[in-house]
Structure 1
Amino acid sequence: MERLVVSGWEDDASALLQALREHARLEVIAVGDQYASNLVRARAATKLSCFQHLRQMVIDVDFDALLLAAPERADDLATLATVRGADLLLLGDHLDAEAMQAAATASFRHGGALAVLRPMLRTAGLGFVSDLIDADPRWTPEVFTLELWDERPAAQILRDGVAAATRLLEHAPVEAIASIAGVDREEPTTIAVQLRGVDGSLATVTIYGETSRRMRLHAATSNGSIDLESVDGESRVMLSPRNGAAERSVLRDPDMLAFEAQRTARILDGEALDARFALREAAVLHAVEEAIATACPAPVGQSSMRSILRLLSGGVDDAALTVAQTSNEPQEARAPLHLIPSA
């Protein structure tokens, strides 16, 4: 059993952690969160040592993998973990673009496995479409709409939606446009995004938060059209070839947490790879975040590409410089190790 530490606590985390234990042989040994109220609930749920000083947890605890489930200090924690040889697990819907890029960069630089967990995307229907595209690239979407409904906040669903769209497109998009709606503009319940590709491809992703889970996809390809709807654990797929009769399939969704944990195990064993997608997803998400904040079209990828090129040439990015500077802080200036002592 490998040892796992968690940075960031949510009350619904227990089911995912149990799936990782059963299917990826990852045993949680410590939880960190900068918010005291979260740590109280984490301690009640896990009975484990809980740390408010995240950096100290990563330095002092012996572990094999780090699960980043919150964006706070992600760059620092990811670098410290990968330098010591640990693997990284990223809870994709909880990390913003900056945190995602920092973690992916640390993994790229120092090695170790990188798994991006997105259980919502592990429906049987979306898996079928992905396998279809891999088997026959003529089914790669050129124009598509993806709609996602879920109980989570719209911002979290959006991160999954952007990741799904990025992987369905043949090439990374070059521009993002976004609009939001809702009573509270700071926490919108609906988000619409368009991603435009340099090859003329166009993806429209619409997010509806705080509602029952559902997914709908319509894609136009050079080989015909794809229609997918996933609801209540069932995926209905219709393929309409340009020169043939439509084919319909009904697929039962797997236990998505178990499926994601099994996929994580394969990544940790070197049989699958998320690292090649993570930096691209971070670049696209950064553009989407900028488009939402400014209400203007935002270009994709310039800052991220500079970081990648500097890594390839042996350069040092800003995140690494920040870590190098903060790692020299005096020992006595650090916060106390434990907020809640272990039993």
Structure 2
Amino acid sequence: MTFTLNQLEEARRALDTPLFADLAGDASISFEFFPPKTEKMEETLWSAIQTLAPLGPRFVSVTYGAGGSTRERTHATVARIVRETGIPAAAHLTCVDASRAEIDEIAREYWAAGVRHIVALRGDPPREGEAFTAHPEGYANAADLVAGLKRIAPFDISVAAYPECHPDKKDLVADLDALRAKKDAGAARAITQFFFSPEAFFRYRDQVAAAGIDIEIVPGILPVSNVAQTRRFAAMCNAAIPAWMDRLFEGLDDHPAARQLVAATLAAELCRRLYAGGVRHFHFYTLNRAELSFAICHLLGVRAGAAIKEIAA
């Protein structure tokens, strides 16, 4: 990648001083949650939101299950965030197993509920191992969905990006063409799938720029505390897991607190290296748990700031 002089100076400081010493606190952050399935999971989710809200996230997003399996829970969670907190909320929408008319109606309901930000995704097939097939009356892909949403209302739209190439794309050129189509349709930013090497992000960011695609690229950060679970996630999105990660988590199955410390250290170091390369917005896949993301944000110099309305228990 090409460094500016300021970035070179920042990289030198990252080597010469403690990694997280005296950061400017100029990073912005956002968080992803998934809709709760049970009352207990809902308590966990709202506890996480209450913990992370004082950090002043740029937005929080709520995922959407394959085939609309969490449609109602996603809508309820996003609507509650809008209603009861001061945090901008983004709802995920996918193309899977739904007609254009159905998706358009959901989008109109979001707009009426005060939701102004959509994360527009093609979506994964509802059954693992199957290839994606567009609904005969639905949106064909994410770019098509973005264009449809823009016809309904002036949503702020985020889309997905894949530093290590989308598993369904034959090569990087096809993958970049898909990103270009989403940007041209009206997407404002792309949030990457998780990755574990800063070089993977920087290489991709340079490739996007070289292709002339002018869109904000936000790194998606997954703090790992369960390597087996992460391997399952990674297999679905073509993310490489380095061998050293397995070794670092060896022997920690019965030591959850130590596992958390290792997970926070790894993710924080990744964020610090991205920061040294000029990244100033980080999107955290929280898995509805606040502690790891909160610790990493703290290390990055992000502190509780603007007042947030009280969140109902």
TM-score norm. by structure 1 comes to: 0.31
Higher relative contact order (CA 8 A, sep 6+): 2
More strand by share: 1
